[in-house]
Amino acid sequence: MFPRCSGILLHVASLPGGHGIGDLGNSAHEFVEFLAESGQKIWQILPLSPTGYGDSPYQCFSAFAGNPLFIDLKALHEQGLLSGQDLTNAPSLPEERIEYAPVIDFKRGLLGKAAHVFLADGASTDGRAFDTFCRNNSDWLDDYALFMACKGAYKDAAWVYWDPGIRQRDSAALKEWQSRLSAEIQVHKFAQFEFFRQWEKLKAHCGRLGISIMGDIPIYVAHDSADVWAHPDLFRLDEQGRPNPVAGVPPDYFSATGQLWGNPLYRWETSAASGHQWWIDRVRASLKLLDLARLDHFRGFEAYWEIPADASTAAEGKWVKGPGAEFFQTLQTELGELPFIAENLGVITPEVEALRQRFGFPGMSLLQFAFGNDPQGPTFRPHNYSRELVAYTGGHDNDTTVGWWTSSGLGESTRTAEDIRNERDFTRAYLGFQDEAINWVFIRTVLASVANVAIIPLQDVLGLGSYARMNLPGTLSGNWEWRYKQKALTKEISEQLRKLTLLYDR
């Protein structure tokens, strides 16, 4: 499943062009061609679902739906669903950052217009395809579309603030709201139809060029989501429907007080009683979109960090046993071989590693973690790599490699100034370099390693500094905004990457 190869980590939102945010149009297809020309075999992305709180792809309104912001508006124009004037009326938006509020307002309005034009011609071939899509995905689509329509009616308020009938999914209230919001519900269904149609074209293009798509399955879902609203029995909620306790991780490299995510925890015993049916449906839906999947926060399936809802920091939590092997055995029995990569970072125990190895999921290693004073540092050093591993220069929660090397690093982690000096001295000694560009030293190191798979964030290929960082854990703003410039992927960069890829048999 994991032959020796390499790839690039880039979220769809970070593509250039489009209308203020990356989309599934020309720039996505051009990026796939860049991957092929550079000898890469994997495109790794972040979750594709519609983002909510903080614009984070790890806090989404649905674990099943696609993000409507990724829909290529030019394709809607080509279908006759939007006018040329619609596209030229786009607001002025920055090229290298996403300003989510104006992007959401602009694209939401045009998607609504396109939907009304499309739905007025329901007898067309596309109309029949739409009806088929709605039938085939009704198990999640009906709840999602009603949820989003209700959020619009309640001015985007979280579902716990809705009126009791619809909040508690009383059958009479559901029928009433479905009737009242029928037009809005159809708009949301159309957006999903178009997202999946555009995604299938992009995935087919990847397949023709030998590119596998590695996606991301977050362990937790957002509290304000169709998933929790429609399946409250699967989550640990109080009488008001609020999560208690909540998810997070203990103090680590990123934070001295841990990370208080706030997501609802699962009622694993309830999930097990249903044969983990919701999870089976979720993974099956994900694997229709993806070839490979990074299983986010894998250690939470062995034991998870439980934090009281009223805690001020994540340090107040405790470890609680997760579903373990029984969960993965159930998935495997139902779905066959699972093409998972286990995100086994953080506080990892022998029990976590035993679970990962039992099911043959490759783990992850980040080179940025190899040179500091973290007790786990030696496990991230290339001389300790195993072949069944996905090696990264850094991940979406890390600074870029250039940023990590050149910034003070103080205030962003638990490291002191002396720690940083020692880390840099050890990095130079271990990697044996002086004046070479640090990003290419790191790229060469992971490509040369024995790890079967090497993944490089595009920011490191481009040699960008901290301004291009995707996410700083523990912060609430300024994340998930970076985009690369239209002509950044030069022939020279492609050739340099291809040479190293060929040199190390990837």
Write a three-state SS string for 143-178.
Answer: HHHHHHHHHHHCCCCCHHHCCHHHHCCCHHHHHHHH
In contact, 483 and 97? CB cutoff 8 Å: yes
pLDDT at 112 over 60: yes
Q: Is pLDDT above 80 for 51?
A: yes
What is the percentage of the chain residues whose pLDDT exceeds 90? 88
pLDDT of residue 441 exceeding 80, the answer is: yes
Question: With bands split at pLDDT 50, 70 and 90, how would you rate the model's confidence at 495?
Answer: very high
The per-residue pLDDT for 416 is 80
Rounded alpha-carbon distances, angstroms, from residue 285 to 30, 118, 196, 298, 335:
26, 25, 11, 19, 11
Residues linked to residue 455 through DSSP beta bridges, in sequence order: 7, 392
Which tens digits make up the pLDDT trace of 120-163?
Answer: 986 677 889 999 999 999 999 999 999 999 999 999 999 999 99
Nearest to 23 by CA among 48, 52, 58, 51: 48
- Is residue 64 scored above 90 in pLDDT? yes
Span 72-100, mean pLDDT?
94
Q: Kindly provide the b/e burial profile for residues 316-346, where b requires at least 16 CB atoms within 10 angstroms of the residue's own CB.
A: bbeeeebbbeebbebbeeeeeebbbbbbbbb
| pLDDT one-digit tens code per residue, 342-381 | 999 888 899 999 999 999 999 999 999 999 887 888 999 9
Cα-based angle 258, 268, 167 (whole degrees, multiple of 5): 85
Residue 245: asked if its preceding bond is cis (omega within 30°), the reply is: yes
Element (H, E) at 8: strand 5-9
In the set 224, 302, 343, 481, the catalytic residue is 343
Which of 347, 392, 346, 343 has its CA nearest to residue 363? Answer: 343
318 pLDDT above the threshold of 70: yes
From CA 15, how far away is CA 48, in angstroms rounded?
13
For residues 76 and 194, the answer to whether their CB atoms sit within 8 Å is: yes
**Mean of the per-residue pLDDT values of the chain:** 95
Contact between 396 and 9 under an 8 Å Cβ cutoff? The reply is yes
Say if residues 251 and 81 touch (Cβ distance below 8 Å).
no
Q: Averaged over 11-32, what is the pLDDT?
A: 96
Closest C-alpha among 468, 58, 499, 472 to residue 263: 58
Kindly state the percentage of the chain with pLDDT values over 70: 97
Q: CB neighbours of 103 closer than 8 A, spacing ≥ 6?
A: 19, 20, 21, 69, 93
Give DSSP secondary structure letters for 294-325.
Answer: EETTTHHHHEEEEE-TT-SSGGG-EEEE--TH
Strands 259-264 and 246-249: antiparallel
> Where does the pLDDT of residue 253 fall: very low under 50, low under 70, confident under 90, or very high at 90 and above?
low
Q: Which band of pLDDT confidence, cut at 50, 70 and 90, is reported for residue 16?
A: very high
DSSP string, 211-241: PEEEEEE-SS--SSSHHHHH-GGGB-B-TTS
Closest CA relative to residue 360, chosen from 394, 332, 382, 320: 332
The active-site residue, picked from 55, 184, 397, 481, is 397
Lowest mean pLDDT among 277-281, 408-412, 492-496: 408-412
- The pLDDT score that the predictor gives to residue 297 is 96
Residue 320 β-bridge partners: 304
Instruction: For residues 396 and 45, give the distance between their C-alpha atoms in angstroms, rounded to a whole number.
Output: 10
The reported pLDDT for the residue numbered 476 is 81
Contact assessment for residue 111 and residue 71, using Cβ atoms and an 8 Å cutoff: yes
Average pLDDT for 293-299: 97
Beta-carbon contacts of 391 under 8 Å, excluding residues fewer than 6 positions away, are 364, 365, 367, 382, 385, 446, 449, 451, 453, 454, 455
Contacts of residue 128, defined as CB under 8 A and 6 or more positions apart, other chains included, come to none
Residue 363 parent element (H or E): strand 363-366
Q: Other CB atoms closer than 10 Å to residue 381's CB: what's the count?
A: 17
Q: How far apart are the first and last CA of the chain?
A: 15
Whether 245 contacts 262, CB under 8 Å: no
Confidence of residue 487 (pLDDT cuts 50, 70, 90): very high
Burial class of residue 392 in the structure, from the number of CB atoms within 10 Å of its CB (0-12 exposed, 13-18 middle, 19+ buried): buried
Single out the residue of 407, 456, 455, 463 nearest to residue 437, CA to CA: 463
Concerning whether 505 is annotated as a catalytic residue, the answer is: no
Query: What does the block give as tokens for 377?
Result: 């540092």
Residue tagged active-site, from 55, 216, 224, 296 = 296
- Is 72 part of the annotated catalytic residue set? no
Q: What are the residues whose beta carbons fall under 8 Å from the beta carbon of 72, sequence distance 6 or more?
A: 18, 23, 24, 25, 26, 198
- CB of 346 closer than 8 Å to CB of 249: yes
Query: 397 catalytic, yes or no?
Result: yes
**Which pLDDT belongs to residue 17?**
86
β-bridge mates for residue 7, sequence order: 42, 455
Q: Please, which pLDDT band fits residue 254 given cuts at 50, 70 and 90?
A: low
Instruction: Report pLDDT for 284.
Output: 98
